Structure 1
Amino acid sequence: MLRRDFLRRTARGLGAAWLATRAANAAPFVFDRLPQHYRAHDEVTLGRTGIRTTRLAMGTGTIGFGGASNQTRLGMSTSTRLLLDGYHENGLRFFDTADSYGSHPNVAAAVKQLPRENVTILTKTDTRDPAGVRADLERFRRELGVETIDIVLIHCVTEADWTTRYQGVMDVLSEAKHKGVIRAHGVSCHSIEALRAAAASPWVEIDLVRLNPIGSHMDASPDTVIKVIKQMRADGKGIIGMKILGQGDMRDRPAEAIRYALGTGVLDAFTIGAESRREQDDLVQRIAAA
């Protein structure tokens, strides 16, 4: 029996326990009733890209910079096993990586042991010139051990004029999609100006956006960000949430953060980086309990 099946059976009890806790410690921002039952391994479609994957992506970039992250610091064997356990035990098929995390080899080690067609790989480039991005794509494919990368994003964009400033980069990614090197392209936004520019750009197919109920490490207030996301969704863009736990600021309030992410109704999927099997199982349980 998959662990997810066990979790589904126990979700009702967990949900009742959570609701009892909430009644005693009512907190703002948390939705009293969600419109449906959610599971981490639910199959979702990312906007109009046609890419189908799981609601929860396994993040590999917690405190990720300079070619390392908390996941890579676990060591190759441990981090690979965490990805494989997520796939086999919890049905998670969405791997979120980036060049700056240094986690391409870790993802490659896991993907090598899985049916490639069952896994969605999202990665990101920090390069801002066309020739560099073209070289990145070839290197990324080697590092990931794949012919086609599902999603490539321009990473950590802050400029309001990025859709004109980085037109050359966008053209390279468009060409890569045309050639089958990637399946979809988009952006990871780190300012409200960049997010608004992404909403207005027909080039953006997928946006990675920061969202949590307390506004921690976000581009603007949650209400402001949600208004922009709704515009994106209306235009058929795929929306993936990040900073769901506020980069750790809501680590002791995961149920509230997850219920908020689900209850907004604006995210196709979201990514959270677990650092242990226990953390990963807890995330899966929290989603089921919501």
Structure 2
Amino acid sequence: MKQVTLGATGLRISPLVYGTLPLGPLQAQLAPEAGGRLIRHALEAGVSMLDTAELYDTYGHIKAGLNGYRGDVCIATKTHANDGKTARLHVEKALRELGRDCMDIVLLHGARIADPFTERAEVLETLLHMKEQGLIRHVGLSSHYICAVKKAAGFPEIELIHPLINRTGMGILDGSAKEMAVAIAECSLAGKGVYAMKALAGGNLIGEARASFRYVLGLEGVRAVAVGMLSEEEIDGNVALFSGQSLDESVWQELESRRRRLVIMERFCKGCGFCVPACTNNALEVTEGKAKVNEDDCILCGYCAASCPEFMIRVV
């Protein structure tokens, strides 16, 4: 697969980034060995960047996939910490569980934070200090907010942007896809490396996957897209698409016919409501003592599952 450069970082990666969220307990609950086999398949097919986060609990999957692999791999992780001390613990855990001395990329994970530079200033300061210590190579921001992405363009400390963008604008919290595209272009012009998330809106646009990927890849400044993949067929199809190769139409028809949804096991739901503020797209509410999902608004990120103390929420 061809390589692209992420802004001024100098990092050379594949345009297809393996998003590992679906492998872990928030979604498919694959064992590390099973997830590792999929990651290894992608690496051997030419994928050279893996995207994870403290929330995803997929470090074991990545380590299994990398075991014995000799190629170059860039790994990006994220911290959702509210304070510097917790952010440091998150990064140290990533280093320890991945067996690394330095993380390639650490993103301030501010999906629902309109101004992370104010609300998470301590976290950013900690990440930059860890960069000075040689524990992080590059610091960036992940966000669902246009205003946060626009503000990042003026912060030289932020080297990478991981924005939510798709054809419909689903999941963007303060505007349209067109407006987010403008903010992304501004960041790119400022030298930020941009790799996008939620090009399929968490699976809601899977029926038009090829058109949806091409839309995001065609945006000014977008160099790569993180994609969650749960089968070798998905990996092979996406590698072919991102490489400009043809793939049998029947294969794509099968891939685009797959559907996922959020399931709440209402019988066991206690109605605590912890999932409601965890939802990045305001798709949940507690009604008559039970959590309910509005499937039209759900982007299938799975963050609500991580907040459920009874483990009663799954993306299937």
TM over 0.5: yes
**Separation in 1, partners of 2:167, 2:192:** 22
Could you tell me which residue of structure 1 aligns to residue 25 of structure 2? 68
**Post-superposition shift, 1:221?**
1.2
Equivalent of 1:82 in 29, 38, 53: 38
Equivalent of 2:6 in 38, 46, 53: 46
Contact 2:166/2:215 (<8 A) preserved: yes
Deviations 1:238-272 (A, max 9, x none): 10101011111111111111111222232111100
Which is helix-richer, 1 or 2?
Answer: 1
**Separation in 2, partners of 1:127, 1:267:** 26
Could you tell me which residue of structure 2 aligns to residue 178 of structure 1? 132
**Separation in 1, partners of 2:34, 2:97:** 18
Could you tell me which residue of structure 2 aligns to residue 203 of structure 1? 157
Q: How does 1:71-110 map to 2 (within 5 A)?
A: 73-88=29-44, 90-110=45-65
Identity of aligned residues (%): 31
**TM-score under structure 1 length normalisation:** 0.79
**Post-superposition shift, 1:166?**
1.9
Amino acid at match of 1:286: L
Q: How does 1:18-167 map to 2 (within 5 A)?
A: 41-62=1-22, 68-70=25-27, 73-88=29-44, 90-115=45-70, 118-167=72-121
Secondary structure of 2:153's counterpart equals: helix
**Separation in 1, partners of 2:203, 2:40:** 24
Amino acid at match of 1:223: K
Aligned pair count reads 244
**Post-superposition shift, 1:289?**
4.4
Deviations 1:208-236 (A, max 9, x none): 01111121222431110111111101110
**Separation in 1, partners of 2:59, 2:37:** 14
Deviations 1:113-145 (A, max 9, x none): 223x70100000111211111122211101111
Higher relative contact order (CA 8 A, sep 6+): 1
Contact 2:150/2:187 (<8 A) preserved: no
Amino acid at match of 1:86: A
**Post-superposition shift, 1:102?**
0.7
Contact 1:158/1:193 (<8 A) preserved: no
Secondary structure of 1:243's counterpart equals: coil
Amino acid at match of 1:143: E
**Separation in 2, partners of 1:217, 1:148:** 32
Contact 1:158/1:194 (<8 A) preserved: no
Deviations 1:137-170 (A, max 9, x none): 2111011111111000111343333212322211
Deviations 1:72-101 (A, max 9, x none): x1222221000001111x111111111101
Could you tell me which residue of structure 1 aligns to residue 197 of structure 2? 242
**Separation in 2, partners of 1:261, 1:289:** 18
**Separation in 1, partners of 2:218, 2:85:** 41
**Post-superposition shift, 1:203?**
1.9
**Separation in 1, partners of 2:230, 2:8:** 32
Gaps of 5+ in 2: 247-316
